[in-house]
Structure 1
Amino acid sequence: MDRLRQVISAGSGIIHYEVEKHRHIGEALETFHKTNAEAIVIIGGQALAAATFEFLLEKDPFAGKVPPLAILPAGDNNIIAENLGAQSASPHRELARLLKVRKSGQLLTNILSVPLLKVEGVYGVGTVYGLYLCCGEVTREKNIFSGAIAGSGLLSRAKRRLSTMGFIRRASMKARKDKGMDSAVRVNLNQRGAVVGRYFMVCITTLRAVLLGAQLPAPQKADKLQFMSVENTSEALLSMGKQLLKGQFDDRIMPGQVIKQIAHARIVQHKPFVLDGSYFEVEKNGELLISSTDRLSFISL
């Protein structure tokens, strides 16, 4: 935190709030509204981002004109920060880079306008807002969601490639052993019938990079959610692995893999799931309802 304070003190035109209680978020947003903030920078992980989303959508402190949001890495949300252009897992470095971009007048050049996920059925919470949800066997690999951010350098790319190959090997070996249906996931998309299966991964997001930096095809409709599922079979995982190494998922029919845009989904399963890098439990009935919200704007560095 001291390094962040040093970066902030060296800048200009910055209103800095250190949030200790939930109500402080609302106070901060009201202040930003009154001062016509150019952008809002969130430094504090999934919980702070989700609470901020909740205030913005349910309280509407900006009267529908929310400034662009920047989400910096904080450990549990690294998968989101990397999606939005972070090049390292150090929040003070990313903040310094963001302020440098602002000084050059390019801060609002690359803006991503997307809806959020509204996730209902979260144990102990009820409803949580986010950008990325994932369930299935892949959630056992915790470093996938909160691990190091791959930079643009050759060494970083080589490390990401090696970790991807190791990830694929482990997943394939486990899939050969797992033949039961005790961890089955029930998926219902757009209320058009349900499918029950053994899934390695079921992911719903409004971002492009879905796993280890590999990107989904460009969405055709900006107000829809991106859905991807991969069955927990050796054939499907091998196909997925090839796409991961390319860094791009194919926009065509692949074995055991589905990619499509949806309006909402109902997922029934009883294991922990990941939302924006953090782990959550489902209610006793195991049912999650996922829908889209109004769009918010995010700064993509």
Structure 2
Amino acid sequence: MARVALLSNPRSTGNRSKLPRVRSFCAEHKDIFHYEVEHVDQIGTALATIARVNPKVLVINGGDGTVQAALTELHLGGHFGDNPPPVAVLPNGKTNLIALDLGAHGDPIVALKRVLELARTDLAPHIVSRELIQLSNGHAASRPVLGMFLGGAGLADIILFCRNKIYPLGLPNTVSHVLTMLAVFVSILFGIRAAFLPPRPAPVRISVMKQGELQGRFALLMVTTLQRLLLNGNLSSPGQRPGTMQMMAIEQNRTTLFHVAVAAIRGRLGRLRVSGVHLEHGDEIRIEGDHSSVILDGELFEANVGGPIVLRPTAPVPFLRLAA
């Protein structure tokens, strides 16, 4: 039996330089079953094949789109019945939020070695549960897309600005992210509007089941089931089960954003009450706007007036945490 099944997408940005080393490592370790796909449409077939070898761990090696497609197919495809293997994610792509949340960072070979080491022991102490976010149009007949981190409102605009304006410059990821944050800072602080800066967030309406409704312009809208978040934040409230769906919305206001920045630097964002920062937990979140973009694990979707995006949580899914 293969202890580890590795699903790789050679077309993801990070794999263009790292995949040869991954292939060599797998060739040296016969208890790794390595399956490569050329397109996300092949992931269903890949998981059906992987299920036949009954791995202890499923490792995903690809960008955000690959991870999202694999999680969607894993949850909805039924390839593993009621007992899917725990999932690990190698550090890859541009942001790696899911990998970071699970303790994987830096060299993917180091992370893969750690997965193999854990797979040769009792996995139970290293398993963590996370809900997945189901994104749909709210109709029962529609097939949802699943992920773990959604950015909307101004955050989606910033991600798209970085993707479309900064990444094409070919700079290292860290430099690209710093330049993006500087552009955001200039735009907010001085109120400058220009083609080379992120746009002003469009109005959106956010409804959280049993919690009420928010409406306005938000510099950041974030819905996630991850524990390690952007801005050094923590959304978990006392008594809340880890890995549940949670939302943060930050109003587009200079005073609010200043207090948010201070709280983030201190590592207290989500723990301190800040005027204009809304923290909610619910079993259904609706986002509606005039062609308002949201990004779920790197994939772009659009919310419209009368055509909201609906987010619901799944049952908890097992993941493998690599950190000690």
Q: Which amino acid aligns with 1:39?
A: V
Post-superposition offset of 1:218 = 5.3
Which range moved further: 204-213 or 137-146? 137-146
Question: Which of 277, 280, 302 is the aligned partner of 1:281?
Answer: 302
Aligned position for 2:84: 66
Report the CA distance shift for 1:277/1:59 in structure 2 as closer, same or farther (over 3 A). Answer: closer
Report the CA distance shift for 1:206/1:273 in structure 2 as closer, same or farther (over 3 A). Answer: same
Aligned position for 1:86: 104
Question: Which of 230, 251, 254 is the aligned partner of 1:234?
Answer: 254
SS in 1 for 2:71: helix
Residues 70-114 of structure 1 deviation map (CA, whole Å, 9 limit, x = unaligned): 1123314512222221222x43443244334545x3755322211
Contact 1:202–1:230 (Cα < 8 Å) also in 2: yes
Aligned position for 2:157: 140
Aligned position for 1:204: 223
For residues 7 and 284 of structure 1, the distance between their equivalents in structure 2, rounded to whole angstroms, comes to 50
Question: Which of 62, 82, 92 is the aligned partner of 1:44?
Answer: 62
Q: TM-score normalized by structure 1? A: 0.80
Task: Indicate the percent of aligned positions where both proteins have the same amino acid.
Answer: 27
For residues 216 and 82 of structure 2, the distance between their equivalents in structure 1, rounded to whole angstroms, comes to 41
Residues 134-213 of structure 1: pairs in structure 2 closer than 5 A:
134-142=151-159, 166=182, 169-170=185-186, 172-173=188-189, 183-190=202-209, 192-213=211-232
Report the CA distance shift for 1:163/1:77 in structure 2 as closer, same or farther (over 3 A). Answer: closer
For residues 53 and 319 of structure 2, the distance between their equivalents in structure 1, rounded to whole angstroms, comes to 19
For residues 193 and 83 of structure 1, the distance between their equivalents in structure 2, rounded to whole angstroms, comes to 29
Report the CA distance shift for 1:111/1:247 in structure 2 as closer, same or farther (over 3 A). Answer: farther
Contact 2:90–2:108 (Cα < 8 Å) also in 1: yes
Contact 1:168–1:241 (Cα < 8 Å) also in 2: no
Computed over aligned residues only, the root mean square deviation of the Cα atoms, in angstroms, reads 3.7
SS in 2 for 1:142: helix
Post-superposition offset of 1:119 = 0.5
Which range moved further: 28-37 or 62-71? 28-37
Structure 1 residue runs of 5 or longer lacking an equivalent are 149-157
Structure 2 residue runs of 5 or longer lacking an equivalent are 1-18, 168-173
Contact 1:76–1:277 (Cα < 8 Å) also in 2: no
Post-superposition offset of 1:12 = 3.3
Q: TM-score normalized by structure 2? A: 0.74
